[in-house]
Structure 1
Amino acid sequence: MSKYQLPDSPTIYDFLVMSLTSKDLIATFNWDPFLVQAIGRAMRYTDNISQVAFLHGNVAVGFCEEDNIMGNVGMVCNCGKPLSPMKLLYPIKDKDYSSDIAINKSWKTLSNALEQAYMVTIFGYSAPKSDVEAVAMMKKAWGSIDDRKLEEIELIDIRDEEEVIDSWSKFIHTHHYSYHTSFFDSTLAKCPRRTCEATFDRLMNCIWLDGDKGFKENMNFPAIDKLTYKLIEEERKTKGTKKWLSNPYH
């Protein structure tokens, strides 16, 4: 699996990575190397890349227990040794999320992010019965829905809406959710790199958004670059300051 390669043209992985910044977190159960490859491609345009948590391990990711460093598998660590491949967790009912340091670190990263999150997008994850413990850990970090009255849940799934909502009902406060069957209908695609800013403006400041300014399914890399380079430049200029980023999607 580690030898698999993304095609030369943009994929959903590329659009996903380019839609987010370092304030965000991608938490994935996937073992495949495609997300890691997409991050590498995005770094041709910016180093303001989303954090990543590999909840079941990943074939392209390595870890050094001595220095507590995670990176591309085989990369030389500060200690001079190559990063060892992450352990992979298999789809069985009882998974051990705590004994492996790298996987436990990924779960702590997700828990911290969920506790502070304003917006959570759940992309194609059905919360299967084999992942009961995983969902329980996420729920513990998210807390009571009565304490998350302003937060938004965005769901991207090809299943029937009612079935999807039922899967995540313990995370959704009343009507604070949106449902899409395509990534390109989501806030990530329609408002890349400013998802929270745009969502806050839409819901709290009652500002109408223009849904045609974001990513389109047939975009190539030059088109993605053209759409995002001004946003990336603004991020660079405001880094380390308390200035709010602009919302160009209205």
Structure 2
Amino acid sequence: MTINCAGTLVDLTTPKIMGILNLTPDSFYDGGKYRDKNSMIHQVNRMLFEGATFIDVGAYSSRPGADHISADEELKRIVPIVTMLKDYFPNAILSIDTFRSTVAAECIAAGAAMINDISAGNLDGHMMETIAKHKVPYIMMHMRGTPQTMKELTHYEDLLKEMMYYFSEKVAKATQLGINDLIIDPGFGFAKTIEQNFHLLKYLDYFKALKLPLLVGLSRKSTIYKTLDISPDDALNGTTVLNAIALDRGASILRVHDVNEAVQCAKLISNI
């Protein structure tokens, strides 16, 4: 359960926190919030101070129905920011939230140490080869379709079994290519209804059979705020509740907007 992030070995037997830095103007919770250099630096400094092990930087909104942007636009948004963050925080472990191999390669060259792919290679046939070439940890998420179509692709005969088959195929391909550090993300909210998300969380330990670290991203998502009939702004308490359940069922990494609360949650759960 140890991954190599640009020479830094991270032990995931103790849960770690991944802080989110969205560079997109249309993300569901914090879209447009971090548009200038000072706000980005302040937020990353805060997340690192509060205990984030990873900072996940994304420039393509993957919320349901989000606008599609070109690879050139994604590169324009993200590469200068990765370079800037590595200048200010040389020891920070930056993860890049992208499904494009060109974006992954450029960001790795700029100092990123991990790739977080919502499509596990489905949206770019060159992604896994790129990961293997650069020997960085690879987060593979479960999703059907694209962010623009996934809401229509929620029918499963058996959600857990179909997801296990999906991940087994992806792990086999990645392993064959020589990718050593793999992390599984079940993709809460991606081609899944609210009811399916709760079912997935209830049986999250089902994926322990893969014997790989598990990343969970539930932070302020609609599963929480629509169930409670509140806004994403008011969904921190619900996020913490579900994060605690995820940790109890085997999550190794929590991907969150609110690092301090997630760190506290992980510390408390580790003492049980």
TM-score normalised over the length of structure 1? 0.37
TM-score normalised over the length of structure 2? 0.35
- Which structure: greater helix fraction? 2
Which of the two has higher C-alpha Rg?
Answer: 1
